[in-house]
Structure 1
Amino acid sequence: MAANDDLWVRRYHPAPDAGHRLLCLPYAGGSASYFFPVSRALSPQVDVLAVQYPGRQDRRHEPCVESVQELADLLVDVVKPWTDRPLSLFGHSMGASVAFELALRLEDLGIVPHALFASGRRAPCAPRDEWIHRRDDQGLLAEIKRLDGTDSNLLDDEEMVRMVLPVIRSDYKAAETYRPAPDAPKLTAPVLALVGDDDPKVTVDEARRWREHTSGPFEIEVFRGGHFYLNAHASTVVDRIRTRLG
């Protein structure tokens, strides 16, 4: 494995005998630890890996990466050593875009992911013109609270806000400026889109357009809830993953 694996990949519950691996990619402002409960729930049947982007937690002194494509470029060599068994990708929000770009790069190397789980994110072919990353701090905080993805008590802590806002702003820039290459091929990996029925960041129709990005099987599952429907439906989502990974 590459020397920088420990920076990028967190393996909270190693499952060396598992038949499948699942690589989890966080949302804008998120960190690998968000997927600790997923790792615990799926081990030892699935070896869960969680990605830690630069700029947060123990990588807080590293510059953030403000491009989805650059994140995928940096990840592909890190991920390759973990493809000695079937590997699936799970990305939430911005993480779904990174997972898609990473899947394209892996398939270009002849490594077809077992599945791509695209959660809480519009299909790449359904972009919106959003510029939240250009708002002032109060405007950015208002958006975060609207999505209900961060404990509001933490956002009342001035020191915490100073720490997390630059990361969130950089991630929002990556997510909002992301556009796939015009000549990007379709994946051959199966795609499962997961979406909340009241998500202000993605409609069900926008999520359904993930179908246009794969020549393989496609499914969509709609949950009650908003952008972070995952928090209320974690056990159901984990069951869906377990079933599809067999």
Structure 2
Amino acid sequence: MDIQLTLDQINQRAWNSRDASREFLRSKSWIDPGEKAAFDQIAEECRGEPLLDIGIGAGRTIPLMMQISSNYTGIDYTAKLLEHARTRYPDLNLYHMDARDMSGLPTDHYALTAFSCNGIDCVAYEDRVLILKEMFRVTRPGGLVWFSSHNRDGPGFQDSIPKLMPRFTLNPLRYGWRTLRALRTLPLASYNYMRHARFHRNYEGYSIKTAAAHFFGILIVYTTLTEQRRQLESLGFRVESVFGCGDGKRIDGDAHTSDASWLHFVARKPMPPLE
């Protein structure tokens, strides 16, 4: 089984669904406090400088990133979502491109290279390395890389079909609404979960598992705080900070784990040594 091809096929099907278009068009601001905290850290340093925004989807991050700089480039590998972004922002540089191969973009150019909404998790682990290498290449020396990633030690890794059952409440109207919503989503979500469960894998430092988003319609990589730091450092980055999604607090540099559902990493491409 080619897990790389499997992830691509499953996740592209989800991104091309009506649910994905509806969700991405509705989102207009920060997805969580950790994303806002990371943005606040890098904003002043990158103000007015060239920015690369990877995985823009329907364009949620465009107005947020444009607060920093109008020198903006955005890419996405799902043509349907990219067309939504182009319709909304026709004057910007928005390209249909796969982050695993950004050879059409210049080397050592961007002050900030960002990949939001855990997009890097939607490819196989080996492809994740390719993406980070490309992000390193296009970022200028001294520049920053910012991305988010699902945390294997967080509660989301335990998501399964029972999560979709209606939570009990003494309010009969609220419980009735929750029950109706569960009846609507359970058949598709159960089908997707059972279909994707055969691809679940556990490795040292990371796992592959279906996630609850889009009715358990995506198959993603969950990594750990320690493994992601190790991976970044092995590729030449210097980790500047990590933020938890839930409270936006910075995680201590010597922490080995976190209970956040996903984590926001800010890393720097070092300057070359002086000759």
TM-score normalised by L of structure 1:
0.39
Higher strand content, 1 or 2:
2
- Tell me the TM-score normalised to structure 2 length: 0.36
Higher-Rg member (1/2): 2
